[in-house]
Amino acid sequence: MTLTATAVVDRYPTRIDGDPELIDRTDPSVWDFTGAGPIDRATMAGHHTKGFSVHHDLLSPAEVAACRDELARLATDPGLAEDERAVLTDDGEVRMIYEVHAVSELVAELVRDPRVLDRARQILGSDVYIHQSRIDYLPGFRGKGTYWHSPFETWHAEDGMPAPRAVSVSIPLSGQQELTGELMAMPGSHRTFVPTTLGSGGVPDKEHLRSLGAAYGIERFTDAAGSVLVFDANTMQGSADNITPFPQTNIHVVFSSVENLLFAPFAGGQPRPPYLANRDCEALRR
């Protein structure tokens, strides 16, 4: 099913020509508190309050090792390096691979694993489709972090996602020695939509970040491999550069509700390619 017409009211206007004002989110972050699933009530309440939740030891050490092997294999696949879905560094190293659930059998299974899929379904209160999937290979020493942003702001503006009824599932694969402390988020920030200015590329205003930071504070994630982070789409997040000597790898999957289909980009322009914003919104099944 492909929809590109703008058929909904824009409740989160962004890329504004002028001074954008913060918008209180009207959508819930947990869509069905009564829904059955693997997440217990306390974890769900925490997710509702903070906009993210850590699911400890979801993968076994053997599964983490298998993922790491698969990522190492993909990074050195000569065919993939020439694929448009691969992002290379200036040195020709693979930095990211998009649509990885279509590229790797292992990842295709992982995104359908009930431990992962049912968590996304439970939070979003519906069937889900994959909006985007990718592998991040963050090099050591000078691995570039990502500045503060709300992923939903980009998906709304550039992909036409109407509501933040989506979650990012981040599966860090760094081992014990590798410090996974680069990722930061502002707990509670998902309740506020931060519109950006026209031409900003989705980078929030400093005053808005100061005000959100003062209101919500910042949490840093330091969990070992095997734990899985689930973020609300509108959580304000960023990551520092990775100056550790260790590369960090990560599988990243965005699940969106099947009741949250993509329309035309709300900020205008052409939609991004399907490997960045999947428009095949069929419900993901085991």
User: Footprint of a second copy on this chain (CB under 8 A)?
Assistant: 140-141, 145, 147-148, 176-177, 179, 181-182, 184, 206, 209-210, 212-214, 217-218, 220, 222, 238-246
Residue 126 or 239 with smaller CB distance to a second copy: 239
Query: Whole-number minimum distance, CB 60 to a second copy, in Å?
Result: 22
Residue 234 or 278 with smaller CB distance to a second copy: 234
Whether the Cβ atoms of residue 223 and residue 45 lie closer than 8 Å to each other: no
Query: Whole-number minimum distance, CB 139 to a second copy, in Å?
Result: 11
Residue 115 or 210 with smaller CB distance to a second copy: 210
- In the structure encoding, which two tokens stand for residue 184, read together? 């930061």
Residue 33 or 141 with smaller CB distance to a second copy: 141
Whether the Cβ atoms of residue 20 and residue 195 lie closer than 8 Å to each other: yes
Helices (H), 148-191: 151-159
Place of tokens 């991040």: 136
Q: Select from 165, 129, 153 the least CA-distant residue to 30.
A: 165
Residue 174 or 260 with smaller CB distance to a second copy: 174
Measured CA to CA, the distance from residue 109 to residue 118 in angstroms comes to 13
Residue 102 or 184 with smaller CB distance to a second copy: 184
- The residues, any chain, with a CB within 8 Å of residue 65's CB and separated by 6 or more, are none
Query: Whole-number minimum distance, CB 168 to a second copy, in Å?
Result: 19
Strands 248-257 and 128-138: antiparallel
Query: Whole-number minimum distance, CB 138 to a second copy, in Å?
Result: 12
| Secondary structure percentages of the chain, helix, strand, coil, to 5 | 25, 20, 50
Q: What is the 3-state secondary structure (H, E, C) of 219-259?
A: EECCCCECEEEEEECCCCEEECCECCCCCEEEEEEEEEECC
Query: Whole-number minimum distance, CB 222 to a second copy, in Å?
Result: 8
Amino acid, single-letter form, for residue 253 = V
Alpha-carbon radius of gyration of the chain: 18
Query: Whole-number minimum distance, CB 268 to a second copy, in Å?
Result: 28
Angle between the 41-50 and 114-124 helix axes, to the nearest 10 degrees?
60
Amino acid, single-letter form, for residue 255 = F
Query: Whole-number minimum distance, CB 144 to a second copy, in Å?
Result: 10
Residue 23 or 218 with smaller CB distance to a second copy: 218
Residue 62 or 214 with smaller CB distance to a second copy: 214
